Amino acid sequence: MDNLNSTTAGDAVETLALVDKKGNPTEHQVAQWVAAHGEVKCFEVGDRQVYFKQPTRQLVKAANAALAKSRDVDAYQETILKNTQLNYQAETESNVQLFFALANKVDEIITSLSATLKN
């Protein structure tokens, strides 16, 4: 991921940062992700803001297949995380604490709406 994004308006070139000094995405980067993926979700883990796009039904089906095959919940969680996470991917793979903090949020990554029984 580049840290800068240049836009041209006439003769003026504006360079917008995609990450801030802490390495978190800027509002400009988040706006780009929203434009590309629709809704995005942010989870704060320590000083990191980790963003995810909404998984497709096909991805959830693949994650369920990985779970059924291996009977390993980590395989399910890892499938969802690897295919929806928009930043800090390498760090999530190498940092066990970050991985487990985010793995506990997989249900929230998948679910955008909640249903309530009304009768």
Task: Give 67-80 pLDDT, tens digit per residue.
Answer: 898 888 888 999 99
Output the pLDDT for position 4. 56
- The answer for residues whose C-beta is within 8 angstroms of residue 26's C-beta and 6 or more apart is 16, 17, 18, 19, 20
Domain range summary for the chain, segments of one domain joined by +? 12-110
- The fraction of the chain above a pLDDT of 70, given in percent, is 87
Displacement of CA 93 from its chain's centroid (Å): 13
Query: What's the CATH class of domain 12-110?
Result: alpha beta
